[in-house]
Amino acid sequence: MTDRIVVFASGSGTNLQAILDGCAGGRIDAEVALVVVDRIEAPARRRARRAGVEEVHRPIEPFRRLHPNEPRAARCSYDASLAALVRRFSPDWVVLAGWMRLLTSAFLDEFPDRVINLHPALPGEFPGAHAIDDAWAAHRSEGLGRTGVMVHIVPDEQVDDGPVLAWREVPIEPTETREMLEARIHAVEHELLVTVLSDLSAKVYR
């Protein structure tokens, strides 16, 4: 049976596009059932529409208004609403492809061992939203010669931590710019994510 994937995206959606192309081209034995975005202007929405995939804009701001002095309560309420939405699509996998929000247990407990995150760093290095900037700074200040990309399971609320499914090293070339490094990291992200989802759909990890 073909797997069902729900993708969470916040920005341009290039990782989403890699998944859509992988499914359409037969590399991933799965279909993208839903794309969830938290920013109304996110180009990921257009990519989903072009592929004929349902997309939903679900912002956090209404939940912050409901809990103006309780940021944790707002996040948990928001994540519970996301879980209720995603449950309707019966996903085998929920893929965080450039999703720029940490998920709480209100969501993660609903989909144990099924939430996958893509992070532009090697395991145990440069957690958080600025991994490429942090690697570049370490290259400039300490001579760091490599960074990387990993795909991992998200079991809990720890930042960019959890069982690693695959990783790839990306060398930092002495003569390149930060923009050149970022472009090469993104290329590796797209390929690694498709490879992992291909293996997951083929039950390699199960």
152 counts as catalytic: no
Q: Does residue 206 belong to any structural domain of this protein?
A: no
The average pLDDT across 3-10 equals 97
Among positive and negative, which fits the CA dihedral 163, 39, 188, 29?
Answer: positive
* Continuous segment of H or E residues that includes residue 170: strand 164-171
Write the CA distances from 153 to 51, 93, 150, 182, 195, integer angstroms: 26, 10, 10, 23, 15
Question: Considering its fold, how many domains does the chain have in total?
Answer: 1
Other Cβ atoms less than 10 A from the Cβ of 8: the count is: 26
Query: pLDDT value at position 206?
Result: 57
CATH number at residue 171: 3.40.50.170
Which structural domain range is residue 132 located in?
Answer: 3-201
Tell me which of 119, 139, 186, 190 is the catalytic residue: 119
Query: pLDDT value at position 203?
Result: 81
Tell me the pLDDT tens digit for each residue of 45-76: 999 999 999 999 999 999 999 999 999 999 99
Question: What letter represents residue 37's amino acid?
Answer: V
Question: How does DSSP assign 93-125, residue by residue?
Answer: EEEESS--S---HHHHTTSTT-EEEEESS-TTS
pTM above 0.75, yes or no: yes
